[in-house]
Amino acid sequence: MTADYDTRYLEGIRLFNEREFFACHDVLEDLWGETLGHDREFYQGLIHAAVCLFHFEGGNLSGARKMYESASRYLRPYGESHRGLDLDRFLSDMRICFAELLVPTHEYPSGVTLDSDRIPTIQLISEVLP
């Protein structure tokens, strides 16, 4: 199954799951730069997911929230799963991870820290066939 995927996609997933978010961003950005068509925004969403966690980890809460919202906008249109990724689970886990940061406020978010136990992983599943 994984032989069907670009090695950069699999490497990006591995780096994400190892919490190497900046390196994940670099690898997926290389793939995104060469991608045309339907998958381009999917990869953009994964890049933004890695970047939002990188910012959250580093305490850039405003940047983390903006990138989280962007990642969600890019990934939601792909449905329950895409390219073998369990998007329902991933987006749900991201919401849980970012729940405290996403509480509506007009002020700069402060006092929120990343709970390492809530950092999601990317799970590959078999794609549902029509």
Confirm if 97 and 118 have CB atoms less than 8 A apart. Answer: yes
* Residue corresponding to tokens 């962007």: 70
What mean pLDDT value characterizes the chain? 91
Residue range 23-52: average pLDDT?
A: 97
Q: Is residue 118 predicted with pLDDT exceeding 90?
A: yes
Confirm if 70 and 55 have CB atoms less than 8 A apart. Answer: no
Q: What is the DSSP string of 64-111?
A: HHHHHHHHHHHHGGG-SEETTEEHHHHHHHHHHHHTTTTS--SSPP-S
Q: Is residue 33 predicted with pLDDT exceeding 80?
A: yes
Q: Is residue 110 predicted with pLDDT exceeding 80?
A: no
**Residue 20: pLDDT band with limits 50, 70, 90:** very high
Q: Which domains can be identified in the chain, with CATH numbers?
A: 2-103 (1.10.3450.10)
More confident residue, 48 or 113: 48
C-alpha neighbours within 13 Å on the C-beta side of residue 54 = 17
The pLDDT tens digits for 76-106 are: 999 999 999 999 999 999 999 999 888 877 6
The pTM of this model reads 0.90
